[in-house]
Amino acid sequence: MKEEKEIFERVFDDYTMKTLVVLRRKKKFDSLEFPISTGKEADVYRASASFDEKESYVAVKIYRIETSNFKAMQDYLIGDPRFEHVKKTKRGVISAWCQKEYRNLSDALKAGVRAPKPIASMNNVLIMEFIGEEGNPAPMLKNVEVEDAEKLIKTLTGYVKKLWKSGLVHGDLSEFNVLMKRGNPFLIDWAQAMSTKHPIALELLQRDLKNIKRIARKRGVDFDYEEVLSSIVRR
């Protein structure tokens, strides 16, 4: 009980509670229900919601003010022209981090990549589409046996190509950040995604492709890392 209380207090501080109250008043969600995933920096909750008089669910991601890696977030924001004037405070950086994830989700969807649809971003709270069925969250790729592994690798590689063509790179594509719904992969955790014009964009692209290579090897699929990287960069 003591540990649960400490976790609750770390996540739901006064600042976060006030933010949630405002978002609820704006009818972005009805009520928080239970955690879908928990981490050192952020927790994601399933929440009930009503859109167009239809009962539904949304995912509510809450970044922890005290335990988030403030320095790492700041490093990823530097060089992004969208966030040149971010306040150098924890709250300012985390708020920009949330806005960045919202923006990246929107850009990914425009590029033709399956990802949660962003709904609202305020302070340290991001609300987005709930990826799952009948109220159950979709499983991570690492926990799923895929029937057509070649199709999966082709789809993930296609996502990376579409993103790069549109001027974006995910930077953290892994089995933990891919949700599987009806055989289709959805990419999540977009806050670190960057413009292809950023100095470390190529490094992030290489990281994503190496992770796809690991996924392919694990599932017995051939993946020519050098050829795929070359074909993307040549574009």
- Of 168, 177, 173, 167, which Cα lies nearest the Cα of 208? 173
Any idea which residues carry the catalytic annotation? Answer: 172, 189
Residues 6+ apart with CB under 8 A from 71: none
The rounded distance, in Å, linking the Cα atoms of 125 and 61 is: 6
Element (H, E) at 48: strand 42-51
- d(CA 64, CA 13) in angstroms, rounded, equals 9
Please name which of 96, 66, 162 lies closest in space to residue 173, comparing C-alpha atoms: 162
Contacts of 189 (CB under 8 A, 6+ apart): 101, 172, 177
